[in-house]
Amino acid sequence: MWKYLLNRTLQILVTLVFFLALSYFILDAQPGDITLQYVNPRFTEEQRQALVHRLGLDKPVTERFVSWLINATSGELGDSFELNKPVIDVITERAPRTIFLFATALIIEFIVGYFLGRVLAWNRGTALEYGITVFGSIMYTIFTPWFALMMLWMFSFTLKWFPLGKFLNPTLWIKLPKGSQITANLLFNQLLLTASLVVVAVAII
């Protein structure tokens, strides 16, 4: 078994490196100059060349790829030009919210699937079974980005249950007094702590 796991792990690593290399070289082969996205129109050619040297774009593409791969595996992902901060800081800041959203969706999916499975088992050959099966097939094959936009339109834009462009807005969850210091991050941390305690309590019971 260990030999099988080792072989599968090596296959995954080789496939991952191949995919990263293919994506990197295809993006590098695109026409145009990436530095033009970050330079000021008033920059001189010397300033633009300095930026090219800083980004390492004056090196061979294979050398740049190897350097990028080593930096990525060591956690050095560079800086975000848009946010003006290290990329790893952006990931660290937003990863808990993303994990929380995915975990919530996974739990809801499991609960709904479990109860619908029981309903299907007790209603074989009925119209209810066919209806649930068709509905499940549609939801499974639906175009996810479009469905996400529809959910944003319904629950955020129309019903205004959730804020647009933010993870959450404290004023939509609780009535805040004037000058309150409660922020979205503080509320999220309390929400995450409460969810964790509920999961632990359910596991113990």
AA letter at 62: T
The confidence score (pLDDT) of residue 166 equals 64
Torsion on CA atoms 142, 145, 150, 152, rounded to nearest 10: 140
Residue ranges covered by each domain of the chain:
2-76
Summarised one tens digit per residue, pLDDT across range 190-200 is 777 887 788 78
Summarised one tens digit per residue, pLDDT across range 51-109 is 777 777 778 888 888 888 888 888 778 777 777 788 888 888 777 777 777 888 888 88
The confidence score (pLDDT) of residue 63 equals 86
Summarised one tens digit per residue, pLDDT across range 11-32 is 988 898 888 888 888 888 877 7
Summarised one tens digit per residue, pLDDT across range 121-175 is 888 878 888 888 888 888 888 888 888 888 888 888 888 877 776 666 656 555 6
The DSSP symbol for 86 reads E
Main-chain phi, psi angles of 115, to 5 degrees: -70, -35
- And the tokens for 77? 């992902």
Q: CA-to-CA distance for 34 and 28, rounded, in angstroms? A: 9
Residue 183 banded pLDDT, cuts 50, 70, 90: low
**E strands present in the chain:** 79-80, 85-86
Phi-psi region of 174 (alpha: psi -120 to 50; beta: other; left: phi over 0): beta
Residue 85 · residue 79 · CB < 8 Å: yes
Q: CA-to-CA distance for 107 and 111, rounded, in angstroms? A: 6
The confidence score (pLDDT) of residue 40 equals 66
